[in-house]
Structure 1
């Protein structure tokens, strides 16, 4: 019952969707393609041209609920707990969640972790990413983190929303394979056409165009299955065993490359972390992780 005053404080929105409205919530586990999808939808629906039109929030309850424009995107990493589901509904948000192979997610977190932005995820629930600053995928530090309560809490975000009724579900792998198709499906379900064509949005938000020394850590070549070149079978299976529920709920399997040895895995990781910020690294794709 504690959340009722919060809902009352932010309520008052109309329940009928005005013509042309596009309020979009992207809520998923970090490093699942959230930023890339947000950029493409923002470009197509021109959300950022409006005040409060594009919001990336550690805590979605901080959104200016009573001052949101008719077209806006809120991106967050927040578990499915009240009052958030009620607020999304009250303010007519179309909710999207992304799923990505859990081992690719954890590798992407490792690559991103030295950026202190990760420390704000889930308001520090179950710890943070400091233990993996500067370590490698095969290190005991990473394995401890990847099987920890912190990793479980982060992976639970997509899992919880993925199972919720009325949520639009997208697999990162499908988004990489055909981003325009996924955008068209969103538009159809949303019931509002974009202001700018999706072909242009995909091109404008391609990684080669938006990646620069400032965004290099957040945006990197997130080729689906990259984990298979960085985790030996022993390590991959050990981590996957800690997240059996996530693999099952999201429909992923752990099928490591059993020919990969630690020396080769280490070499592949070195190629990634040594890649120049302005170029495409090992295993490149048109994706933003």
Structure 2
């Protein structure tokens, strides 16, 4: 078994929130851990410096050929478990897994109602909700390589969920449950990664330090380097905003594309 614990999700599903919580719980800071120092304890798998030299352009085939070696190098970042963020579906491209099994210890998979994902993703990407709904239904949806990152295969929202739900040694965590009962569901994550008995006082402080109020205040004060070009990255952290902001036609498009998986996850 490997050392990587994947912190996996479709974009805008709570991945950064979970990373912030883990940093605050495990490192036990006296004040909230900076949102601009999340790489102190976890890394983004797609970060360009892991794969190439500055100015170098890699094809998808080249990125995939490098991925297993990159993942092996990631296991050497820390002496114990290594927490790695990914938006990749748990699939293979050109016959090479996007998340190398032999270097994997397990995965925390964060899933969110796709109707809320569409809203948040659209704001982050500065694209219309209708465009994002189309992206989320596309099995070939991907983030292209640029100066900051290499190719990531998102696939459709449903395919992404299926790929991770079927993975071994994974913990499925719904964003909505983290919002409704943070003490219960963040404690499940701590127990899953095996850091010992949950310290309730430590848990409560980590939840406070990683609350959307705290994260948003930090972003207002110092900015968030990994944020998008649109609205604030840490916006409201609420569940169910789609009820007020999506049109009936948009809701119907999402449920038509993803209804089967939504039903299984309790979203319908």
What corresponds to 1:168 in structure 2? 171
Q: Which aligned runs of 4 or more in structure 1 are off by greater than 6 angstroms?
A: 47-52
SS across alignment from 2:267: coil
Distance 1:209 1:154, change over 3 A: same
The answer on whether the counterparts of 1:52 and 1:72 sit within 8 Å (CA) in structure 2 is: no
User: Structure 1, residues 53-92: CA drift from partner, whole Å, max 9, x if none?
Assistant: 3102326934433422124321111111326251343xxx
Worse overlay, 173-182 or 57-66: 57-66
Higher strand share: 2
* 1:207 aligned to which of 207, 212, 215: 212
* 1:75 aligned to which of 82, 85, 108: 85
TM-score, with structure 1 as normaliser: 0.62
SS across alignment from 1:197: helix
The answer on whether the counterparts of 1:30 and 1:154 sit within 8 Å (CA) in structure 2 is: no
User: Does residue 1:220 correspond to 2:235, yes or no?
Assistant: yes
What corresponds to 1:181 in structure 2? 184
C-alpha root-mean-square deviation of aligned residues, in Å? 3.2
* 1:53 aligned to which of 37, 41, 59: 41
Distance (Å, rounded) in 1 between the aligned partners of 2:89 and 2:135: 19
Larger relative contact order, structure 1 or 2 (CA cutoff 8 Å, min sep 6): 2
TM-score, with structure 2 as normaliser: 0.66
The answer on whether the counterparts of 1:102 and 1:246 sit within 8 Å (CA) in structure 2 is: no
| Higher Rg | 1
Unpaired runs of at least 5, structure 2: 51-66, 92-96, 143-153, 225-230
Distance (Å, rounded) in 2 between the aligned partners of 1:86 and 1:205: 30
Distance (Å, rounded) in 1 between the aligned partners of 2:75 and 2:17: 27
User: Does residue 1:97 correspond to 2:109, yes or no?
Assistant: yes
What corresponds to 1:108 in structure 2? 120
Distance (Å, rounded) in 2 between the aligned partners of 1:141 and 1:68: 38
What corresponds to 1:278 in structure 2? none
Distance 1:41 1:51, change over 3 A: closer
Worse overlay, 25-34 or 230-239: 230-239
Q: Where do residues 1-150 of structure 1 align in structure 2 (5 Å cutoff)? A: 24-46=5-27, 53-58=41-46, 61=67, 62-63=70-71, 64-69=73-78, 70-81=80-91, 82=97, 84-89=99-104, 93-114=105-126, 132=127, 135=128, 137=129, 141=131, 144-149=134-139, 150=141
Deviation at 1:241, TM superposition (A): 0.8
What is the number of equivalent residue pairs in this alignment?
A: 209
The answer on whether the counterparts of 2:114 and 2:254 sit within 8 Å (CA) in structure 1 is: no
The answer on whether the counterparts of 2:135 and 2:156 sit within 8 Å (CA) in structure 1 is: no
